[in-house]
Structure 1
Amino acid sequence: MGRGELSAAPLPRSFFDRPSHEVAPDLLGRVLVHGPVAVRLTEVEAYGGPGEDPAAHTYRGRTPRNAVMFGPPGHLYVYFTYGMHFCANLVCLPEGSGSAVLLRAGEIITGLDEARARRAPALAPDGRGPATGKAKVVPDRDLARGPARLAVALGLLREHNGLDAIWEGSPAALPPLAEDGTGHGTEDGTGHGTGHAAWLTGLPHGFAAVLEGRPAGPGTIRSGPRTGVSTAKDTPWRFWVGDDPTVSPYRVHVPRRRSSAATSVGEAPSS
């Protein structure tokens, strides 16, 4: 992915007040910030509302588990699946609709050390963690390459289900920020400075924000069937940035044990 400037302007709630399959491709290139880590989104999947999309958690209506998806747009829907993984989504459409976009993959642009530590805890001598042994080395491209990995890198857990990702505690627009995470962009394009880091790591504890970032160009966006979905499997609502190394591989649905990672907002019976 080429270097350039990213806008730190927070996206408004109206951005998400649209059908999920319209929001999803428009999310590519946007930046999700949670604590010290920021991810530029490179792969997402859209899921429809009750009675419309049999692959969605809301297909059969509202339940205690999926209630956040029926809330205001722009909130995080974080669910636990297969007894071991969290996945994160952004709620779409007006309150009461029950639709969201699954965040499948992205590039860590700020907080690499924190993301590495979260993704590669120290291993015990027998190779089973966590313990005090040497940490496993995870390539940067793989830190948020997949929905469960992305949630881990961002530190998103059960308690973040329902967290508002619309940041209203800052100016409507901020100076451009450099993609290398060093600071606000300068006139010479070097991006040196401290403003970017201060903004991205300066969110109060427990807050999240979706920033404008640098939207993917229409010519770079690809679409196809959603990954690992057994119902409505031909619906082309998976969107990704073509040739981006952080995009996860496509996999058709294969029945798995509960110890495997979930790949969609639909195929996840546990909570």
Structure 2
Amino acid sequence: MEMNATLPYYINTTNVIEHVDNFATLRQSLKIISLIIYSLAFVLAFLPLSVTYTALDFHWPFGNFMCKLNSSLTYLNMFASVYILVVISVDRCVSVVWPVWAQNHRSVRKASCVSLGVWALALILSTPYFVFRDTAPLYDIILCFNNFALSDDYETPSVILLRQFRNQAMTITRFLLGFVVPFTVIVSCYAVIIHRLKRNRTLASQSSRPFKIIAVVIITFFLCWAPFHIIALIESASHIGTEPSLTFRYVITIGVPIATSLAFINSCLNPLLYVFMGKDFKDKIRKSILSVLETVFQEDSSSQSR
């Protein structure tokens, strides 16, 4: 599944015609919805090519290189935004659990190096989408799709198996590295934060706002990304074995644009969530640091008096 396309990675003329005939009205409605959501995301995240591609009913007029670039940049943004969330979560956790250490060791230079590392990792993970993305004519339109075999052969069994294998490998890798691992780290970090704040009854009793924002961040991440990866796994599995049923095609036809739109929306929501989160956490961390320092000074005074 692609974040900027609803067509399968292989070109099968019969299937495409049947798909268009059976779901033309449904796809038109979903296209309008996707356009509205993509245009909202365009205001914040600059997605003109995806908006145009959807508006032209998935006709790609920008050439092969831009097809590759657009797809790779889309996934670059996906991996970068997800892992920046991970880094922020880890940073919050360290600041709450070890406030004095964090105050003494965190710096702008180290933050810049971590950010550079995140973008480098995102670039590595998005490179295969530049390699495998391709264009091909189909009647009066040009498709921008994943050519996992890097071949125009769609009939040889060995080539078909290669396409299926690479498609499944990339889908599973994206699911693990783009959702399972980041989500596990984020949930673990905020679980530690909640546990630490609850242990400090003074901080916990002053406001329930941090807990609410943490819950919103985790729920938003899950609701925005889980459907995308689940639909991608389902679609990848559909290329194995018998021809998918009509009901299954309906699910894919409806699920792909909705899941893709949710994934785009997440990138727009994250900055807003962390703006609201930032000030409250800074206040809590500041109070936590003061509390720790007060305890240290009290222990030091007691030892000196002895």
What TM-score do the two structures reach when normalised by structure 2?
0.22
Q: Larger C-alpha radius of gyration, 1 or 2? A: 2
Query: Comparing both structures, which one devotes a greater share of its residues to strand?
Result: 1
What TM-score do the two structures reach when normalised by structure 1?
0.24
Looking at both structures, which has the greater relative contact order when contacts are Cα pairs under 8 Å and sequence separation is at least 6?
Answer: 1
